Structure 1
Amino acid sequence: MLIGVFSLAGAQAAQAAQAAATATAPSPAAPRPPVSADDPAGAGGARREIRAQLKPLHYTTLAAEIGARIRALPVSEGGRFRQGQPLVNFDCSLQQAQVNKARAAVDAANTTWQANQRLNELKSVSTVELNVSHADLAKAQADLAAEAAVVRKCTIVAPFPGRVATQKVREDQFVQPGQALLDIIDDSSLDLEFLVPSRWLIWMKPDQHFQVQIDETGKTYPARIKQIGASVDPVSQSIKVTAVIDGHFPELMAGMSGLVLLSPAAAGH
């Protein structure tokens, strides 16, 4: 009888311990809400940070087309220039001498051709000799045109107005054909390039206005979407967007970066 009492008490104690463990056990975490187009990071999550970089309207690298010594670099690094202004002058005394030689050859061939024409009127020259003298004149003129084309490459002019971003060579340096000389940019208008989630395409449109906060200045500037990329990256599910800064702000420079303040809520969605 005493054994039965102890067994009943043990069973009751085990049931009480199991109930206490069940009451204190943590409940399973609620499932995370699905990601929506209005909240790119998921409901209740932090919104995705979109970074952008300022790029010039036009930019290129000027290279040498001939092998020659640099005589002058009229615009220093960081300096501004006008369209058509000389940026690199080469020492082309040898090339100019070749032009003078070709010009003299043209004069000689032209004299022979004119003399043969007069002799032909007198029936004193053969047709073959007349034709050969005309061909010699044409060849001399072609040689002169080729040498003159080389001399025109002795000066590199600016293809657009802007600034010298990087000067890769120095005066009196001899350069080879194809060697990079200057990096130039047109910063009269600055573009913004950034990547956004591809699902933003349902509300993001060209000419849409937004704000961008530039890190280097700590200020916010107006911007406008200029172009949306033609294809979506299948891995990141993002698309490239090009925008333009609305207005001229002297403190902004190419290469600066910042935060794009663009979202479905800001777009009115």
Structure 2
Amino acid sequence: MTLRRWIITVFMCLLVLVGLGSIKFFQIKEAIAMGESFPEPSATVQAVRASAAEFRQQLHVSGELTAPQQLELRTELGGKIQKLNLPSGGEVSEDQILLQLDVSEEQARLRAAKASARLSKLTLDRNKKLRKQNRVSAESLDQAEADYQTRLAEIAAQEAVINKKTIRAPFSGRVGLHTLEEGQYLNPNTLITQLIGNNDYIWVDFSVPQDFPALDANSNIEVKLANQETLNATLMASDAEVDSRSRQLRYRARIDIPQGSKLNSNSIVEVHLNAGQTRAAVWVPDVSISRDQFANYVYVLQPEPGTDNYRAERVRIELGPRQDDGFMLSEGLTEGTMISSIGTFKLRQGLKVYVQETTVQESAAQNAGVQGGAQ
């Protein structure tokens, strides 16, 4: 009796399990059929074709304008300012006396030295006449000659001190600002002001990485000023060695100052450099490039046979220099390959794609409009 009950119980359980399994089977089958009736996931994007272009390796670096003639005017000796002819921020001419320190003591010593020199000269001339008559010894004549030369040296020493206390402009130019006044005492090696020469050209110094191709002497480069004005410069020379700290090589170029322009020394400018030979490359717009932490990619749109649809294929690329609103590619694509542009962010590998083909110019313009609206 007990065995019969167990058999009936097991049979009923199996019957329930089969019933539930059948119900679930038909539910899954119905869901699969419903899923197959849905259209395949797809995305609509705009597309362009990779275009051929030529480029040279470019580099933009910061440069500094340097005046060919510039120096710091300093006092060599100390003293009180007796005369000041130094217009603050004004123009001066070559050999103009800018500052005169008090030299009254030196002038008195100079007059005394000249008087002693005149006396020594008379004594020397007298001894020369007496020596011809053998009335003085050769030693006395030599002593008179040495005494006279000593007096001349004293005159030269006093004149040198006076000249050192007279500050003159070594060349024509413009002086900087100062706060000096007559009667003010200046210590030795006191900075008076800066003097910048009047030249119709100016230098621009800049540095480039050591692995950048060497620049040819007398080659032309572009210099962009702070006011966005662009000037041409001629490369003059390079430093003898690479800087040991920055590992960069320093260059100097010459800018001929245009009529009516004013370029100030120590101003920062932007230097545009080209190097190497022109090379053929493929250009793609920036909007076509997708990026992750590993590499850069574009989506190539492969046509499906017998349809107007495409399949997205992710292709890894190597970016070259930037140009306009896109990049030059050193490898990864060939000219004429269709790639996605606007809407690239919607794509993934193998996705069905509907495309609206546009020109490169249209894509760049639309990309600029999207960026402008975001701003």
**TM bracket (short chain):** 0.7 to 0.9
Question: In structure 1, what residue type is equivalent to 2:243?
Answer: D
2:186 pairs with 1:194: no
The alpha carbon displacement at 1:124 in A equals 3.1
Q: How far does the alpha carbon of each residue in 1:113-153 deviate from its partner, in whole angstroms, 9 at most, with x for none? A: 22223333444333333322222112111111211222222
- Cα distance, 1:187 vs structure 2: 4.6
Correspondence list, 1:69-148, <5 A = 69-148=80-159
CA contact (8 A) 1:187 1:253 kept: no
For residue 169 of structure 2, what is the aligned residue in structure 1?
158
The alignment status of 1:262 with 2:265, answered yes or no, reads no
Counterpart of 2:107 in 1: which secondary structure?
A: helix
In structure 2, relative to structure 1, the CA distance for the partners of 1:103 and 1:268 (3 Å cut) is farther
Question: Structure 2 vs 1, CA of residues 168 and 241 (structure 1 numbering), >3 Å: closer, same or farther?
Answer: farther
Q: In structure 2, what is the Cα distance between the partners aligned to 1:190 and 1:86?
A: 26
Cα 1:168–1:198, aligned 2, differ >3 Å: closer, same or farther? farther
Tell me whether 1:227 sits opposite 2:229 in the alignment: no
> Do the aligned residues in 2 keep the contact of 1:82 with 1:158 (CA within 8 Å)?
yes
Partner SS, residue 171 of structure 1: coil
Q: Which has the higher strand share?
A: 2
Partner of 1:263, secondary structure, is strand
The answer for unaligned runs of 5 or more in structure 1 is 10-36, 41-47
Question: For residues 234 and 75 of structure 1, do their structure 2 counterparts lie closer, same or farther at Cα, with a shift above 3 Å needed?
Answer: closer
Shift of residue 235 of structure 1? 5.4
Matches for 1:42-53 after TM superposition, within 5 Å:
49-53=60-64
Query: Is the Cα contact below 8 Å between 1:106 and 1:141 reproduced in 2?
Result: yes
Q: Which residue of 1 aligns with 2:372?
A: none
Taking structure 1 as reference, are residues 86 and 197 closer, same or farther at Cα in structure 2, changes over 3 Å only? same
Q: Secondary structure at the match of 2:211?
A: helix
Deviations 1:88-136 (A, max 9, x none): 2222121111110000000111122222233334443333333222221
Q: How many residues align?
A: 232
- Residue 239 in structure 1 maps to residue 241 in structure 2: no
Q: How far does residue 234 in structure 1 lie from its aligned partner after superposition? A: 5.4
Contact 1:166–1:184 at 8 Å: present in 2 too? no
Aligned to 1:98, the other structure's residue is in SS state: helix
Equivalent in the alignment of 1:182:
193
Equivalent in the alignment of 2:220: 209
> Which amino acid counterpart does residue 83 of structure 2 have in structure 1?
A
- Contact (CA 8 Å) 2:60, 2:273: kept in 1 or not? no
The question of whether the paired residues in 2 share the 8 Å contact of 1:168 and 1:182 is answered with no
| TM-score calculated relative to the size of structure 1 | 0.74
Q: Distance in 1 between matches of 2:181 and 2:213?
A: 48
SS in structure 1 at match of 2:212:
helix
Cα distance in 2 for residues equivalent to 1:168 and 1:62: 14
What secondary structure, in the 3-state scheme, does the structure 1 residue paired with 2:205 have?
Answer: strand
Name which of 64, 67, 70 aligns with 1:56.
67
Give the Cα separation in 1 of the matches to 2:234 and 2:263. Answer: 16
Alpha-carbon offset, residue 201 of structure 1: 2.7
Alpha-carbon separation, structure 1, partners of 2:94 and 2:213 = 38
| Residues 202 and 257, structure 2, Cα contact 8 Å, conserved in 1 | no
Counterpart-to-counterpart distance in 1, 2:79 and 2:162: 11
Whether contact under 8 Å (1:164, 1:184) holds in the other structure is: yes
Q: Which amino acid aligns with 1:56?
A: A
- Considering only aligned residues, what root-mean-square deviation do their CA atoms show, in Å? 3.2
Distance 2:76 2:185 in 1: 12
Deviations 1:4-48 (A, max 9, x none): 99xxx9xxxxxxxxxxxxxxxxxxxxxxxxxxx9557xxxxxxx6
Cα distance in 2 for partners of 1:162, 1:193 equals 21
Aligned with 2:178 (options 162, 167, 171): 167
Change (3 A) 1:123 1:224: closer
| CA pair 119-231 structure 1, distance change in 2 beyond 3 A | closer
In structure 1, give the amino acid aligned to 2:114.
R
